[in-house]
Amino acid sequence: MTKTPPPFAPFEWKIAWRYLRARRAEGGVSVMTWISLIGITLAVFALIATLAVRSGFRSEFVGTILGANAHVTVYSSGEIDAQGRVDRTIADYDDMAARIAQVSGVARTAPLVKGQVLLTKRERSTGVEVFGIRADDLLTLPGIADSDKAIGDLSQFAEGVAIGSGVARAIGATVGDKIKMTSPNGVKTAFGTSPRVNAYDVVYVFSSGRYDIDRTRLYMPFEEAQSFFNREGAADEIEVMVEQPENMNPVLIPILEAAGGRSRVWTWQDASGGFLRALEVEDNVMFIILSILVLIAAMNIVSGLIMLVKNKGRDIGILRTIGLSEGSVLRVFFICGAFTGIIGTAMGVVLGCLFALYIDPIFSFVNYAMGGGVWDPAIRGIYALPAELHLSDVLKAVALSLGLSFFVTYFPARRAARLNPVEALRYE
């Protein structure tokens, strides 16, 4: 009784390897094999590089938000004062901050005074948003206090103000310079409200990693901000940092209960939710587009296999005549196509991972070759092209590439297996 060989037996691999490395004079399709290999490699490389940049951009964006902004902002819905105006300031800000700090999951709280002013140095001026904050609370903001590109000393914060690097460039200021702040809501007199103008020393210039923050933000001591904006004995809002900013829903209700009945909350996800949702939509669209690119590259395998089956019709007829089953012939040609997909995927993974790991020198070279100015932080919001390599992204790209390669390989391989040996050898 003849023993049936197991699937993917060594002789099937040998025949497949012989066909893959065959020269054109022998009826081989090595050129098509190389085209398929390069196509799969570039498609997988593009997919992994895009996924890495996507992940890096989102992490960079979220990281800079969480490093320089409140995770949750608590403010008052307001009440009508004696003049009939809505007063949204918080009088018992220290007590409210202490109550919120007791909520499980809250890392820290800090009262803030906020306002907008015109900042001037000589003939240059720009509008900025002022954050009045205590020095100890400012030190807990990693995006501000731990900036590796910062200039100055935050220990002298009580003697001046801290400005973003974009603000410093806009007015030509640096540490040690004196700048002038003008607020339209200043001194109240019998003839109305006159603008308030004060001069302050710049003691710290920070770079948070977000251009829009560095270009518009100024920090000043809390008590000085209360005086400058007519907030004596009050704060505008309570800044809250939580332990798990990506999952804040469990702490929002307890924070509201601790803050009191007239309080409202605004989270960092509310402020940036539209952008984050746009990122998710863009991620999905880019993945679909690049998946189509991988599919197009995989179709080159079909073209090569169809040509291979056409050229090897006589060989198929002989192999079937000497006893090879349809399954063996199918597996031989399946190995030919799948091997191209596997090697191309592996090479694409290597290139994609190298791109993600060495994106900074690569981008620096591109920027140098293009004469500079390739990346405009004023448009993109961050200062460099980020990339973050995740195993899940790599596995997703590998699964997509191999799945498509194996799928499209099956059909021409099945056509080869069903080739009638009599028809194949009729004219030989």
Taking 80 as the threshold, does the pLDDT of residue 382 lie above it? no
- Looking at residue 27, its pLDDT comes to 45
Mean pLDDT for the stretch of residues 384-388: 74
d(CA 324, CA 315): 11
pTM: 0.70
CB 403 within 8 A of CB 424: no
Taking 60 as the threshold, does the pLDDT of residue 158 lie above it? yes
Q: In this predicted model, which residue has the larger pLDDT, 134 or 370? A: 134
- pLDDT, tens digit (0-9, with 9 covering 90-100), for 324-337: 676 677 777 788 77
- Looking at residue 1, its pLDDT comes to 44
Q: In this predicted model, which residue has the larger pLDDT, 97 or 379? A: 97
- Looking at residue 28, its pLDDT comes to 47
- Other CB atoms within a 10 A radius of the CB of residue 428 amount to 8
Taking 60 as the threshold, does the pLDDT of residue 248 lie above it? yes
Taking 70 as the threshold, does the pLDDT of residue 369 lie above it? yes
Taking 80 as the threshold, does the pLDDT of residue 314 lie above it? no
d(CA 131, CA 114): 5
Q: Of the given ranges (269-278, 294-303, 340-349, 419-428), which has the lowest mean pLDDT?
A: 419-428
Mean pLDDT for the stretch of residues 161-175: 91
CB 238 within 8 A of CB 100: yes
Strand partners, 114: 131
Mean pLDDT for the stretch of residues 188-215: 80
pLDDT band per the 50, 70, 90 thresholds, residue 10? confident
User: Considering the chain, what is the average pLDDT of its residues?
Assistant: 80
